[in-house]
A and B are shown apart, each in its own frame.
Chain A
């Protein structure tokens, strides 16, 4: 059985992420303990809410260096992925700097949050073979970069998914994206 740890630092819907893995037959552990996180085969870094508040909690819990130095596959989801970037315009907060890109706010001309199902395209890495739509809820976005492994259009083209070495990120919620989401989680667990 794969040892999957979901980082539980009090930011949002950790339970939904856990349930999604359970539907696929896995039994993840929820933890904010650095030792437990380091010992995992796979680490999931979720997040919902405000970037600044979430980053403060990660700092308080001493998890910044822990996450940055993980060598096993790590999946950041939604705010989790954004916190893995250099910097976020949300609260002007410095992120973990794993992905070499800054998080920006959507244009005021658009309905924000970008909420609902949208197409993911030009898919590679853990997004390889993914066709269709995934569920997004976010007001800030990651621009296109060399680390982009899937893109999405909402007023502009942005990164739906990122990969760099053992680190992966999804702006959308795979745990809320039906069968398509399940296939992405499975792809991650095949890394």
Chain B
């Protein structure tokens, strides 16, 4: 049976991991390679790296980093952050990334999804979408949630699949950082509207939240950052707990 995937997300700036990472047994928790290997060893199913480097020149560092990750790590990984064109994606894919996440650039120019899928196949095109529940419903937000658009979340994910996205990474800005559980209703609706896999993001605070997610929705995967980085939740224990509740997971 296909396992539900558990995916740690690492924020990268200038080739280093940012946001508090607190693995006591790592010599350098700011080294994305060391952290990636650690996660791979303890049973993470995939990794997502989001590059938050501001300047264009420093993006070369990202391609070099991607290649180093690909050399060292034997599980799949997605790279996102600032991908605006087929060329941007090509640099990262050729460096060894398995998938590319696009967010704002696809909102501004939806045909980017089609261009990427035509060139590299939809299996490597992840549409990352950040949304908030407003008085007019769930609206897509840009720039890490700071800029609201009038685009409806549910319309957007359906359109994105038609255009060529192979996977949806949906982050609820209302839940992100709250550690109060995933946006179950919205996730269930997103998942029901598309035939591609959906990754849930935003709100993970306890093992019970993951159990809720996988029993109350059919999403394919859960992504989280700080609960894994600070070892509030240990991936092996989380997976054992899910397995006990008959959620299909990969135990290594």
Chain A residues in contact with chain B, CB under 8 A? 12-13, 15-16, 19-20, 22-23, 48-50, 108, 110-119, 132-133, 135-139, 153-154, 173, 175-179, 181-182
Contacts and interface: CB of A to CB of B under 8 A. Distances in A.
Given A12-B121, A15-B96, A48-B124, 6 more contacts: A19-B70, A48-B123, A116-B46, A116-B197, A153-B1, A182-B74
A132 B250 CA distance: 8
A16 B76 CA distance: 10
B195 A115 contact: no
A181 B74 CA distance: 8
A136 B250 CA distance: 13
Contacts, number: 97
Interface string B121-157: 1111000000000000000000000000000000000
Q: Which 9 A-B pairs have the closest CB atoms?
A: A49-B121, A117-B250, A117-B3, A133-B250, A176-B76, A137-B123, A118-B2, A15-B96, A113-B123
B205 to A, nearest CB: 24
B94 interface: yes
Q: Is the interface of B mostly helix, strand, loop or mixed?
A: loop
Contacts of A23: 71-72, 74
B226 to A, nearest CB: 24
Interface residues of B, number: 34
B220 A13 contact: no
B87 to A, nearest CB: 16
Interface string B84-95: 000000000111
Given A49-B120, A113-B196, A175 B45 contact: no
A43 to B, nearest CB: 21
B98 interface: yes
- Please indicate which of the listed interface residues B45, B98, B123, B220 has the most CB atoms of chain A within 10 Å of its own CB: B123
B5 interface: yes
B247 interface: no
Given A113-B123, A113-B196, A15 B70 contact: yes
